[in-house]
């Protein structure tokens, strides 16, 4: 198989894996916590990076600002996030994670630990380190492309 076919096959397999993880998520957490995977990603990014502008959050999650607005409006209604207009520029909206948002992250992570581990349990420690190295390399390349283009 040539390189292009291999890359296509790997990317298809990766998409299938992500789809399965997302479906498992929806079966377990979406109903229990009334939280979609993209909503959880918003909460988690804010936990890791601190308060962000809508545009920054959109860039990190590779979504559009209107998509972020839709996701965050639901999370604000649940009391997980706070939105504030910037004092110096009223067009800019800053999003901050609140204590209930931190609590829901802890609960979901605890519940999801088993599900996620189920996808990786058969891999050796060495395989997991290889995946981590490969994904890090790919993500850092994407970051470079996004900032240079």
The torsion of the CA quartet 18, 63, 51, 141, rounded to 10 degrees, works out to: 70
The count of other CB atoms within 10 Å of the CB of residue 31 is: 9
Tell which wins on pLDDT, 35 or 43: 43
Mean pLDDT over 36-42 rounds to: 89
Q: CA angle 79-81-86, nearest 5°?
A: 130
Helix residue ranges, H only, the chain = 3-25, 31-33, 37-49, 54-61, 65-77, 99-120, 125-148
Contacts for 82-90: CB closer than 8 Å, 24+ residues apart: 86/53
Across 86-106, average pLDDT: 91
Phi-psi region of 79 (alpha: psi -120 to 50; beta: other; left: phi over 0): left
**What is the pTM assigned to this prediction?**
0.69
Question: 65-77 vs 54-61: helix axis angle to the nearest 10?
Answer: 110
Asked if pLDDT for residue 148 goes beyond 90, the answer is no
Res. 29: pLDDT tops 90: no
CATH code of domain 24-120:
1.10.10.10
Q: Give pLDDT, residue 89.
A: 85
Domain ranges of the chain: 24-120
Tell me how far apart the alpha carbons of residues 4 and 53 are, in angstroms, rounded to a whole number: 38
């Amino acid at each position: 198989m040539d390189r292009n076919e291999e890359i296509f096959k790997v990317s298809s397999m990766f998409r299938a894996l992500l789809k399965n993880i997302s479906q498992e998520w929806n079966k377990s957490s979406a109903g229990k916590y009334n939280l979609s995977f993209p909503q959880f990603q918003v909460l988690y990014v804010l936990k890791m990076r601190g308060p962000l502008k809508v545009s920054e959050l959109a860039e990190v999650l590779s979504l559009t600002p209107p998509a972020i607005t839709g996701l965050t409006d639901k999370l604000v209604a649940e009391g997980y996030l706070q939105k504030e207009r910037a004092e110096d520029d009223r067009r800019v909206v800053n999003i901050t994670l609140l204590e209930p948002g931190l609590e829901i992250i802890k609960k979901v992570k605890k519940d999801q630990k088993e599900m996620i581990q189920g996808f990786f349990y058969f891999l050796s420690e060495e395989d997991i380190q290889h995946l981590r190295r490969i994904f890090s390399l790919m993500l850092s390349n994407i970051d470079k492309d996004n900032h240079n283009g």
